[in-house]
Amino acid sequence: MLKLLKKTLQVGQATVEYPFKPVEVAPGFRGKPVYNFSRCIACGACATACPPNAITMDCDLERGIKSWNINYGRCIFCGRCEEVCPTGAIALSAEFELAAARKEDLYCRAEVQLCKCISCGEYFGPSRELEYVLAILKQARLLESGHEGWEQLLKVCPKCRRRKIAGSGAKALGARARF
């Protein structure tokens, strides 16, 4: 008995003191994916990559809103959203205390505004995504000349843009046919 006691004193305590003391997680631990709303451009890459569809996106063309939803109860903490996000808006943290009594507390929902097409007046893409494209183009120095034209072009929905280009193409063809 005494021998055993000695041994236990030597070996020490193996039990962690959680939840009375915080527990250390391993490096590279994948916990709650934390969403940074101000960096998200609503591109939808995470929703496409998310294997269990924990992240979903919806478009409300009536209200001109694109919504981003995550269900932490469905997330499998794979980290693919972090991997694909182009702006670093979502990243896995070390937070693991996610238990909730109400299902609603497991959801996070974000709404971003859509841009109205200046040609047909329909909502088509998230405004901040278009802004982001513009910023990237500027940084790549592709915008030295005709800057305003680009900004205008980005506010035209793909349908109208296609129609416009088809129209100008037809004009060019017609012109060539005449000569």
Partner 1 sequence: MDQEVKLAELKAKLKNVIKRSVYVYRVDCGGCNGCEIEIFAAISPVYDPERFGIKVVASPRHADVLLFTGPMTRAMRLPAIRAYKAAPDPKIVVAYGACGCSGGIFHDCYCVWGGADSLFPVDVYIPGCPPTPAATLYGLAMALDLLQQKIKGEQLVETEVTRVTPKYEGVCPDLAKDIEREARRLSGYLHGRRIAAQYLEFVREKDPLAVDRKIKELVKQEKDPRLAEIFLSLHKIYMERVGHNAG
- Which residues of this chain interact with partner 1, rule CB under 8 A? 14-16, 18-19, 23, 25, 28, 32, 37-41, 51-53, 71-77, 79, 82-83, 86-88, 96-113, 127-128, 131-132, 135-136, 139-141
On whether the CB atoms of residues 64 and 135 are closer than 8 A, the answer is no
3-class SS of residue 107: strand
The token duo for 65 is 């809103």
The token duo for 56 is 């979903």
Q: Is 46 in the site for ligand SF4 (CB under 6 A)?
A: yes
On whether the CB atoms of residues 84 and 47 are closer than 8 A, the answer is no
Residue that is written with structure tokens 């929902």 in the block: 109
Q: Is 43 in the site for ligand SF4 (CB under 6 A)?
A: yes
Amino acid at 121: G
Q: Exposed e or buried b for every residue in 23-40, given b needs 16+ CB within 10 A?
A: eeeeeeebebbebeeeeb
Out of 31, 34, 49, 134, the residue judged to bind ligand SF4 by CB under 6 A:
49
Return the closest-CA partner of residue 46 out of 57, 36, 30.
57
Smallest distance, partner 1 to C-beta of residue 161, A: 21
Smallest distance, partner 1 to C-beta of residue 176, A: 36
Q: Classify residue 45 by its DSSP letter.
A: H
With respect to ligand SF4, which residue has the nearer C-beta, 137 or 160? 137
Out of 79, 108, 133, 137, the residue judged to bind ligand SF4 by CB under 6 A:
79
With CB under 5 to 8 Å by kind, the binding choice for 46 among partner 1, ligand SF4, none is ligand SF4
With CB under 5 to 8 Å by kind, the binding choice for 19 among ligand SF4, partner 1, none is partner 1
Return the closest-CA partner of residue 43 out of 2, 8, 85.
85
- Could you give the string, one character per residue 110-149, with x where binding to ligand SF4 holds by CB under 6 A and - elsewhere? ----------------------------------------
With CB under 5 to 8 Å by kind, the binding choice for 117 among partner 1, ligand SF4, none is none
